[in-house]
Amino acid sequence: MKIKKLSIIFFIVCLSCNPKQADYEDAQLFGFNDFKATEQLTGTVLELDEQVMRASDILVCDSMLITIEYGRDKLFHIYNLNEKSQVNECIVTGQGPNDMLQPEFMQGDENFIRIIDLGTSTVFQYNTTDFFTNPSPEPTSRLKLEKQVFIAAQQAGENIMGYSYN
């Protein structure tokens, strides 16, 4: 009986390990030497009047830096890069109508900031000026997605693309 079970398992393993060359016909290999262009990166230290704690996401709009920082009273912290000072903080962690659980930035434009709350799969859109100045900004639109999004989402035209499976 054991020999019969072992032979069946061996047969299944052999079938599953059989390489399928058709899957890799158009594959191309590349190595480290294929990346010959190097570029020297430079930067400057940005010293703000408030200390940035563990930012999980950042967004720069014109001369404003927005950080998402868990563990503080408010989630979003807005800094003026020209003045190197914090100008606003807004939105608390929670499940209220304007609260968020796990926010991530989506692409926006100069007029709107888009944020997806991964905890509720809801996309919030805010007027940029209101978000920068108001401690309790009201979203101009809110869209609850049909499927849960786990990692990130972006808007492409009228559609929103996201990862529904982790």
Angstrom distance (rounded) from CA 63 to CA 51: 18
The pLDDT score that the predictor gives to residue 127 is 95
The pLDDT score that the predictor gives to residue 53 is 83
Residue extents of the structural domains in the chain: 55-162
Average pLDDT over residues 76-84: 94
Q: Which CATH class is domain 55-162?
A: mainly beta
Task: Give the chain's mean pLDDT.
Answer: 83
Strand order in the sheet with 122-127: 103-105, 112-117, 122-127, 141-144
Q: pTM here? A: 0.71
End-to-end CA distance of the chain: 41
- pLDDT tier, 161 (very low <50, low <70, confident <90, very high otherwise): confident
Q: Which two tokens stand for residue 61?
A: 């709009």
Q: pLDDT digits over 37-76, tens only?
A: 888 999 888 888 888 888 999 999 989 999 999 988 899 9
**Hey, what amino acid is at 17?**
C
